[in-house]
Amino acid sequence: MVIGGVVLAIVASVIYLLRYRMDRPPVGVVNRSDVYLISVFVIVLPVAYLHLPGWIVGSIFAVLGTALIRLTLVPVVGSRGGTCVALTLGIADVSICLGLGSHSALFDLVNGAALILLMVGATNTWVQGGMRTSNVAMLAAFLVAYDLVATWALPMMVDFYGRVEALPFTPVLRWGSGGNLAAIGLGDILMATLWPLVLTKAHSRRDAVTGAALTLGGLVLIHIGFELGVLDSLVPAMIFIGPAVLLHFLLLRRRRPERTFAEFEHWGGARRTARPHLVGAQHATGTFDASSSAPSR
């Protein structure tokens, strides 16, 4: 069920990339500096959340999660529709968590749907912003090292997930209970989704399928390990996903250069765009203007 949720996040993200364009602020192209900034947030935020009251952390999760879901849905269903769906899902997530508890099956289902939408939005924000395969490979390398330290060398991630698992918009995709509980953290879902998506933009859909098979293969290995009793504690999935991403990146790097996002759009990557009143004129037409002064992504 959990791996199926990751598959759904990957498929939904790719379909979204092929059909819709998010309304992004003019902040330039996603580059190495952004990866450094993301890495700082990954280090700092869990520590900060461990020292904040639970209601503050839960409020931050709910507000940011609802806002990103709305941003994701606006190109699909319009401004009013996106707002209504995002608020409905956000209120449902919080209400079920407070009413039935964060370990109820209904909460896992609703929260899982919210996380999948968040992954679609977050990954498309980066890829449509021009993120390159080298940026994703760099982020993967950092997350491997971070997970090894934060999960195994230190108890920080164990403490973090123990703290946030009872909160709305908890950053864990899970299903089942007791000995049948299966769960995967938000960061692992993000990387498993981001790699196939950036390959869709940078190379081809065939390479994206290979990338998805590699990242999902790491999750399957972990699942098999638990089923066979080889694994019986918290395992950082990035120690499987990260090396697969890095190896695939090195193989593709030798084969051919990657496309920019502008080239991806020019050669038919976009079939549909956001509504005209939401984005600039060059995106509203669904075409690429080579004379535009905007930087290539």
Sequence spans of domains, the chain: 2-11+29-269
Average confidence (pLDDT) over 39-47: 88
CA 2 – CA 112 distance, rounded (Å): 9
Average confidence (pLDDT) over 108-120: 94
Of residues 289 and 29, which shows the higher confidence score? Answer: 29
Residue 27: pLDDT band with limits 50, 70, 90? low
Q: Cα–Cα distances in Å, from 191 out to 130, 204, 222, 233, 290?
A: 16, 18, 16, 21, 32
pLDDT digits (tens, 9 = 90+) for 231-256: 666 777 888 999 999 999 999 988 77
Q: From 119, 129, 70, 75, select the one nearest 265 (Cα to Cα).
A: 129
Note the pLDDT of residue 23: 81
CA dihedral 259, 262, 268, 270 (to 10 degrees): 120
Q: Give one DSSP letter per residue of 69-133, joined into a string.
A: HHHHHHHHHHHHHHHHHHHHHHHHHHHHHHHT-TTSHHHHHHHHHHHHHHHHHHHHHHHHTT--H
Task: Round the average pLDDT of the chain to a whole number and report it.
Answer: 84
CA 296 – CA 189 distance, rounded (Å): 28
Of residues 92 and 154, which shows the higher confidence score? Answer: 92
CA 264 – CA 206 distance, rounded (Å): 15
Give yes or no for a contact between 232 and 123, defined as CB atoms under 8 angstroms apart. Answer: no
Work out the percent of the chain whose per-residue pLDDT is above 90: 47
Average confidence (pLDDT) over 209-224: 90
Low-confidence winner among 78-87, 157-166, 256-265 (lowest mean pLDDT): 157-166
Average confidence (pLDDT) over 55-82: 94
